Chains A and B, each alone.
Chain A
């Protein structure tokens, strides 16, 4: 009995390993295909964060000074994780539909398709984060300190939420093809409703001055916002600049609380996403 159990466990473990290898193989494929015909390959996407740093320095410190010192760093702290979420969700939306031929003809765990989109965006995200930190090592030493540990829960929530959204988007898009277009518009609105190009304290103060603090709670309940704000606390690491409150709190309680809320939302959504994906995947081969 125990032997049968352990044999079953070994089989399950082997299966999980094979699936993971399939996932890495798909991510590898996407990376290779993307960079196959470009001479500079990876350099292009790695140069991205540096380019943004330069442009945001120029725009928000020279052309339109917004009074936030080193605003470009604040921006990048949230922008990279947003890009990860945005790119994952959008490419996952087309992941099943775009592999119609495979889905109709071959039996394999379909869930690896949206997951590989997340993996592809994840690889870029990690590399860009590394480039950002390399730049910060030269330009912005304030970023390096124990507060960077906040990145761990923030990234865990980001990945969970992104996977959940990707599962939902990829499976729903098989049945309703306009999910893709809807999502593009929704993500644009979502971007502006997340404190990336402005400090979150602006929203808090504006809503407070209108006596609508409850709306701020709603605003913070957006899981991406919780992640972005925690990333900013970790990397920008200056709650107060020139006597002005840029980040909502000095300590870590605020960020951890909202990450907790976001984590709960993300886990529930992951459950919904898995359920939806499993339910719809039986019809993938027919719907395509």
Chain B
């Protein structure tokens, strides 16, 4: 595959907010030159070089220009200033199932949508079964799409879009739709694209996801690039911008030189790849890179695995860390056998002074991993048993009650 790259130079996008723009020929003839408009720059001087195979998270507050940037990069909008150069087959997932027609069946829509996304009919035929299987819609594929649930609708849309086999994937917050199992499937697909060397740029509001998935992140604010670099730093920067910095909940202290988490990795100890799904009894390994400057106070890492309502299930503490000359230390937490829990769990990590317990940095990874199992029946697997037994007769119950009263006295 040729190196698929995105390169944007000095890109700006100006929208004109028209107050009295002629929207019809009639108005155009009657009100010529009375139209007034206000400029609005949705993007300003954006420089972005994305090399082949990189996964870049695009984050920022609402209205910061993320979606506009994706639309400019994908060629839907023309930039007002600057240039955009894209090499490679590009697929943009700005909206799943855009162009679906409710009157048509799922099958017909797959062919239509694939054609719109640039797939030839033969290619679509080849991928058709995969697409349907991925969307888990085999029994419904010949139903009209208007009878689909919204979840089925987006699943089909996503399934078609990812089978276009792009070199470059632009993803707008489509991961926010669909249920959790679908989201995980999307993330797994994205991981597959990463392995294949696909260049990915994706917009997300889930800041915990950014360090997990991306090697790099770009923070946009008011149409300008605020920061371009380390994903953890980027997420932190955005949190402080949004006023939701982890510091506030974790009670961390310290200035810019304080010790901080630089990276976190949840992986399979055998393959070394990211792992998000576990079965009870499987080992789980989490690495944290911690950065500190010379002369910083001693720190240790406390890691809590938290379930619903942020209740810690168990807490692990490391010994004080020893930093190398580069100021980086890595600590590895290993759970030899995952207890019989089920559902989706978060990891909460804090970087603390082991003596004073002052926290320097705190980080929470929501939905960090899933323990496979049906969480609807509780989050812990317990060996239990229920059977019908003979109902005790009345005098026996009374005698038993009397015994209990005596026991209480």
Q: Does B2 contact A (CB under 8 A)?
A: no
- A106 with B103: CB separation less than 8 A: no
| Chain B residues whose C-beta falls within 8 Å of the C-beta of A240 in the assembled complex | none
What is the CA–CA distance of A176 and B31 in the complex, to the nearest angstrom?
14
* Residue from the list A14, A29, A104, A105 in contact with B101, Cβ < 8 A: A29
- B22 with A21: CB separation less than 8 A: no
17 A/B residue pairs, CB under 8 Å, sorted by A: A18-B120, A25-B112, A26-B112, A29-B104, A29-B112, A32-B108, A33-B101, A101-B95, A101-B99, A103-B76, A106-B95, A106-B99, A107-B75, A107-B90, A175-B23, A177-B23, A283-B78
Mask: chain B, 90-133; 1 = CB below 8 Å from A; 0 = not: 10101100110101100010011001111111000000000000
Q: Does B28 contact A (CB under 8 A)?
A: yes
Q: Does A141 contact B (CB under 8 A)?
A: no
| Chain B residues whose C-beta falls within 8 Å of the C-beta of A32 in the assembled complex | 103-104, 108
| Chain B residues whose C-beta falls within 8 Å of the C-beta of A17 in the assembled complex | 120
Q: Does A261 contact B (CB under 8 A)?
A: no
Given contacts A176-B28, A178-B26, A285-B71, contact A105 B103 (CB under 8 A): no
- A286 with B92: CB separation less than 8 A: no
- B98 with A101: CB separation less than 8 A: yes
Q: Does B74 contact A (CB under 8 A)?
A: yes
- Expressed in whole angstroms, the minimum distance between the Cβ of B112 and any Cβ of chain A is 5
Most buried by B among A29, A105, A178: A105
What is the CA–CA distance of A108 and B104 in the complex, to the nearest angstrom?
21
Given contacts A21-B121, A106-B117, contact A177 B24 (CB under 8 A): yes
Given contacts A21-B115, A101-B98, contact A36 B103 (CB under 8 A): yes
- B24 with A176: CB separation less than 8 A: yes
What is the CA–CA distance of A36 and B121 in the complex, to the nearest angstrom?
22
Mask: chain A, 263-281; 1 = CB below 8 Å from B; 0 = not: 0000000000000000000
- A21 with B94: CB separation less than 8 A: no
Given contacts A176-B24, A285-B77, contact A99 B104 (CB under 8 A): no
Q: Does A179 contact B (CB under 8 A)?
A: yes
| Chain A residues whose C-beta falls within 8 Å of the C-beta of B108 in the assembled complex | 29, 32
Q: Does A282 contact B (CB under 8 A)?
A: yes
Inter-chain contact count A-B, CB under 8 Å?
Answer: 83
- Expressed in whole angstroms, the minimum distance between the Cβ of B25 and any Cβ of chain A is 5
| Chain A residues whose C-beta falls within 8 Å of the C-beta of B76 in the assembled complex | 103-107, 285
- B116 with A105: CB separation less than 8 A: no
What is the CA–CA distance of A99 and B116 in the complex, to the nearest angstrom?
12
* Residue from the list B28, B92, B104 in contact with A107, Cβ < 8 A: B92
Q: Is the interface of B mostly helix, strand, loop or mixed?
A: loop
Q: Does A22 contact B (CB under 8 A)?
A: yes
Mask: chain A, 12-38; 1 = CB below 8 Å from B; 0 = not: 001001100110011011001100110
Chain A residues touching B, range: 20 to 34
| Chain B residues whose C-beta falls within 8 Å of the C-beta of A104 in the assembled complex | 76
- Expressed in whole angstroms, the minimum distance between the Cβ of B361 and any Cβ of chain A is 39
* Residue from the list B22, B116, B119 in contact with A102, Cβ < 8 A: B116
Q: Does A182 contact B (CB under 8 A)?
A: yes
What is the CA–CA distance of A177 and B23 in the complex, to the nearest angstrom?
6
| Chain B residues whose C-beta falls within 8 Å of the C-beta of A175 in the assembled complex | 23
Q: Given A29-B101, A105-B76, A176-B24, list of 19 further CB < 8 A pairs?
A: A18-B115, A21-B121, A25-B112, A26-B112, A26-B115, A28-B112, A29-B104, A29-B108, A37-B103, A99-B99, A101-B98, A102-B98, A106-B76, A106-B95, A106-B116, A107-B90, A176-B22, A285-B77, A286-B15
| Chain A residues whose C-beta falls within 8 Å of the C-beta of B116 in the assembled complex | 22, 25, 102, 106, 108
* Residue from the list A18, A33, A179 in contact with B118, Cβ < 8 A: A18
What is the CA–CA distance of A33 and B78 in the complex, to the nearest angstrom?
33
The chain A residue with its CB closest to the CB of B108 is A32
| Chain A residues whose C-beta falls within 8 Å of the C-beta of B121 in the assembled complex | 21, 25
Given contacts A25-B115, A29-B104, A99-B99, contact A179 B25 (CB under 8 A): yes
- B115 with A22: CB separation less than 8 A: yes
- Expressed in whole angstroms, the minimum distance between the Cβ of A242 and any Cβ of chain B is 48
- B25 with A182: CB separation less than 8 A: yes
Mask: chain B, 158-191; 1 = CB below 8 Å from A; 0 = not: 0000000000000000000000000000000000
- Expressed in whole angstroms, the minimum distance between the Cβ of B88 and any Cβ of chain A is 13
Mask: chain A, 67-111; 1 = CB below 8 Å from B; 0 = not: 000000000000000000000000000000001011111111000
| Chain A residues whose C-beta falls within 8 Å of the C-beta of B15 in the assembled complex | 286
| Chain A residues whose C-beta falls within 8 Å of the C-beta of B26 in the assembled complex | 178
What is the CA–CA distance of A18 and B114 in the complex, to the nearest angstrom?
10
| Chain B residues whose C-beta falls within 8 Å of the C-beta of A106 in the assembled complex | 76, 92, 94-95, 98-99, 116-117
Most buried by A among B24, B71, B101, B117: B24
- Expressed in whole angstroms, the minimum distance between the Cβ of A285 and any Cβ of chain B is 5
- B99 with A102: CB separation less than 8 A: yes
Within 8 A of B (CB), among A19-72: 21-22, 25-26, 28-29, 32-33, 36-37
Mask: chain B, 323-339; 1 = CB below 8 Å from A; 0 = not: 00000000000000000
| Chain A residues whose C-beta falls within 8 Å of the C-beta of B78 in the assembled complex | 282-283
- Expressed in whole angstroms, the minimum distance between the Cβ of A25 and any Cβ of chain B is 4
| Chain B residues whose C-beta falls within 8 Å of the C-beta of A36 in the assembled complex | 103-104
- Expressed in whole angstroms, the minimum distance between the Cβ of B37 and any Cβ of chain A is 13
- Expressed in whole angstroms, the minimum distance between the Cβ of A138 and any Cβ of chain B is 37
| Chain B residues whose C-beta falls within 8 Å of the C-beta of A101 in the assembled complex | 95, 98-99
- Expressed in whole angstroms, the minimum distance between the Cβ of B180 and any Cβ of chain A is 25
The chain A residue with its CB closest to the CB of B71 is A285
What is the CA–CA distance of A36 and B112 in the complex, to the nearest angstrom?
16
Given contacts A26-B112, A101-B99, A102-B99, contact A176 B23 (CB under 8 A): yes
What is the CA–CA distance of A177 and B25 in the complex, to the nearest angstrom?
8
| Chain B residues whose C-beta falls within 8 Å of the C-beta of A282 in the assembled complex | 78
What is the CA–CA distance of A107 and B71 in the complex, to the nearest angstrom?
9
| Chain A residues whose C-beta falls within 8 Å of the C-beta of B75 in the assembled complex | 107
